[in-house]
Amino acid sequence: MLLQPPPDALVQADVRRALDEDLGSGDVTAALLPDVPERAYLLCKEDAVIAGRPWFDACHRALDPQVRIEWNIEEGARVAAGSVLALLEGRSRALVSAERTALNFLQTLSGTATATAAHVEAVRGTGTVILDTRKTLPGLRQAQKYAVRTGGGANHRIGLYDAVMLKENHIRVAGSVARAIAKARDAQPALPLIVEVETLDQLREALAAGCDRILVDDFTAADRREAVRIARAAPFDGRIPLEVSGGVDLAGLRAIATDGVDFISIGALTKHVRAIDLSMKLGPPPAR
């Protein structure tokens, strides 16, 4: 997988905000250390998919532009517990001042990438694509969506501006699925249009009216399979892909994928974040 790096301006803005939050008027504890050249190593304490190197590097370079960071792994690599991920050489005070913020980015984004990779593996061979949602940590949406891509998933809409997504309230106000679709097409003809449906009748209406993707929300297994059958049969012939959302967990993921849906969107990838256990220690890494 060719991973597109995150925009540098995004990374720098995230890092400035995070360092300002942590350092405030200055690291009073680091000031107790002699400011001398020092080495450090970055250790991963559990199996993981690593994501967030650009943020980790930027945290350290913001405080010590001359720091040397030698990575032993590529972004997106799977690593085993006990792996030394990187070696660092820089000023002692800058290394310890940047440590927590750098680890916060790396452990959080690696957690998202690791969870995504597990979900992608669960549907391997089915053709179903794993999507994220907008259920992200405030201020870290772009970073977490990058981590989803690092883990092998794909991104749903980034925000409320880059796609039209019609849900229950929009359909209720418009009076029908078809009317809601017509109104959305008139207002935003250039944007992708996604329609969430709750019944098979609404599915048929959305298929007939036309859109870019249909999200079948909280369907039973039987209704989900019928939705796939309807969408792929004449006259619709599979032209509009189906997305499943709601009530999705890792254990039941493959069963949903084998029903033939095109996408499964999972808020837990970015909402239920379990950070990967990482540590950075001064000195050389232990001999193995």
**Tokens 């940590």 sit on residue:** 137
Among 167, 179, 183, 204, which one carries the catalytic annotation? Answer: 167
Catalytic residue at 217?
A: yes
Catalytic residue among 217, 223, 226, 277: 217
Secondary structure string (H, E, C) spanning the chain: CCCCCCCHHHHHHHHHHHHHHHHCCCCCCHHHCCCCEEEEEEEECCCEECCCHHHHHHHHHHHCCCCEEEECCCCCCEECCCEEEEEEEEEHHHHHHHHHHHHHHHHHHHHHHHHHHHHHHHCCCCCCEEECCCCCCCCCHHHHHHHHHHCCCECCCCCCCCCEEECHHHHHHHCCHHHHHHHHHHHCCCCCEEEEECCHHHHHHHHHHCCCEEEEECCCHHHHHHHHHHHHCCCCCCCCCEEEECCCCCCCHHHHHHCCCCEEECCHHHHCCCCCCEEEEECCCCCC
Residue found under tokens 């991963």: 44
Q: Which of 17, 100, 124, 229 is catalytic?
A: 100
Note if 145 is an active site residue.
no
User: Among 27, 132, 196, 262, which one carries the catalytic annotation?
Assistant: 196
89 φ/ψ angles, rounded to the nearest 5 degrees = -135, 125
Among 61, 135, 157, 232, the active-site one is 135
Is 45 part of the annotated catalytic residue set?
Answer: no
Alpha-carbon span 202 to 222, nearest angstrom = 16
Q: Is 196 a catalytic residue?
A: yes
The catalytic residue positions are 100, 135, 167, 196, 217
